[in-house]
Amino acid sequence: MSSSGSEGGTCKWRRREGKVKGVVVVFAWISVSDAQIDEFVDLYDSLQWSSLVCRSDYLNPFFPEKATSHAFSVLKELLKELRKKPCPVVLAAFSGGAKACMYKIFQIIQGASEAQLSLGDSQLVINCISGQIYDSSPVDFTDDLGARFALHPALLKVPGSTKLASLLGKGVTSSLDALFITRFGSQRSEYWQTLYSSVNLGSPYLLLCSGNDDIAPYPVIHNFALRLQDLGANVQLVKWNDSPHVGHYRLCPIQYQAAVSELLETAAQVFSHKILKYGERSGLEGMHDQICELICDLQIAAVDSNQSLRRVALGPNDHFFLPSSAEQQNEGNYGSLQEDRKERSPRSSSPPRINGHSVLGQVLFDACVPKNIEGWDIKFSGSLNGQPLASVRRNSPLSALKSFRRSRL
């Protein structure tokens, strides 16, 4: 386990032993306890993913410069790993973690920040980001942000001082809100525009929320999901009625793990497609052995994904927008969030395939498959940059990520 610190927060590696499919970068703020972080890290470890845990300082949302400094430090730490061997990267924001650090990651790699990476490093990170998870997030950045969080949870544990401490905390945070109220409008707009711009990374989204969350209200998460869908993103939304803020996993571990497992498997496939596409464009210079190893490993992961956790039952009042199979799509038991808006026109395009006569095709065919490859190609589910990808079966479960699915079980 290794760690590093910077102005604005710390980041610590929690590496798993044995086979590793990828890295989950965890963005946490003060509303997430160490015990909760350990539970999430253990979950990712059980699914064969390592974790880079990034904890942001309390003042980061009020001082974007601190958030930028922390994000740059996180990227430098992540790049140490990716330069050795590129792998799928999933960004997981918990509570205010999206505002305290993660959105600055997007700005830096897109060249929209004063902190700059080299073009090569930025492209490497962009190629590796293959999924995004928002647990009780994103939190809306309004002029009462600090007052809604009130205090660091540790201070509320002091016996006999909860009420006094709460009043004091609200006074301090409200003062911070008032101090920066003139900046909140522009910062809030920049924050949401940056999150929406992450659609260009071509990664699927998993949103985990509750109908009983005052810090990350369901209408905010719901509107965020709809906007992402409008921009062409693949979005899964899981909603519970009574789970607390960042408490969904403890309340419903089976359903939570099923959703996360599905997202991580999809992310591995998105990453493999990105590597193929980028490799053909760059001519695979100096990457022959590395690309072949990645593709062979990801082919195995793709086979494993067919046996991943399927849809599981929720409470009678919970909504689980996690597609499971093509047969279930045809049963007519699921509603759609698209009922809340006018039906969108379907997109159509030819699925991408590998040219066997290209440089990449020659390398991959020689390294990973027999010489007799008539009729063979690689197909992946999901979508990239709004463009549908082919799937192993015409009606693959992952192709259902194109739309929201609602179930009342």
Asked if 105 and 71 count as a contact pair (C-beta separation under 8 A), the reply is yes
In a domain, residue 89? The reply is yes
**What whole-number percentage of the chain has pLDDT above 90?**
49
Burial grade of 24 (CB within 10 A; 0-12, 13-18, 19 or more):
buried
In a domain, residue 134? The reply is yes
Instruction: From residue 57, give the alpha-carbon distance in Å to each of 89, 100, 104, 220, 299.
Output: 23, 8, 14, 24, 40
Residue 326 confidence (pLDDT) above 50: no
Closest Cα to residue 152, out of 32, 11, 60?
Answer: 32
Peptide bond into 217 cis (omega under 30): no
Residue 349 confidence (pLDDT) above 70: no
- Output the pLDDT for position 304: 56
pLDDT higher at 44 or 397: 44
Residue 283 is classified by DSSP as T
Asked if 101 and 71 count as a contact pair (C-beta separation under 8 A), the reply is yes
Burial grade of 34 (CB within 10 A; 0-12, 13-18, 19 or more):
exposed
Query: Which amino acid, residue 322?
Result: L
In a domain, residue 386? The reply is no
Calculate helix-pair angle for 119-128, 253-282, nearest 10 degrees.
140
In a domain, residue 175? The reply is yes
Rounded CA separation 53/45 (Å): 13
Q: Specify the range with the lowest mean pLDDT, choosing from 57-61, 99-103, 269-273, 288-292.
A: 288-292
Closest Cα to residue 21, out of 274, 396, 300, 284?
Answer: 300
Mean pLDDT, to the nearest integer, of 189-207?
96
Rounded CA separation 212/210 (Å): 5
Mean pLDDT, to the nearest integer, of 362-377?
49
Domain that holds residue 159: 3-203
Calculate helix-pair angle for 181-197, 218-230, nearest 10 degrees.
50
pLDDT higher at 378 or 187: 187
pLDDT higher at 375 or 101: 101
pTM above 0.85, yes or no: no
Rounded CA separation 81/125 (Å): 11
Give the pLDDT band (50/70/90) at residue 85. very high
In a domain, residue 12? The reply is yes
Q: Specify the range with the lowest mean pLDDT, choosing from 34-38, 93-97, 236-240, 324-328.
A: 324-328
CATH of the domain at 72: 3.40.50
User: What is the total count of domains within the chain?
Assistant: 1
Report the Cα 174 to chain-centroid distance in Å: 31
In a domain, residue 264? The reply is no
In a domain, residue 353? The reply is no
Give the pLDDT band (50/70/90) at residue 384. very low
- Output the pLDDT for position 276: 87
What are phi and psi for residue 188, nearest 5 degrees? -65, -45
Contacts for 49 with CB less than 8 Å, ≥ 6 apart: 16, 20, 21, 22, 23, 24, 90, 264
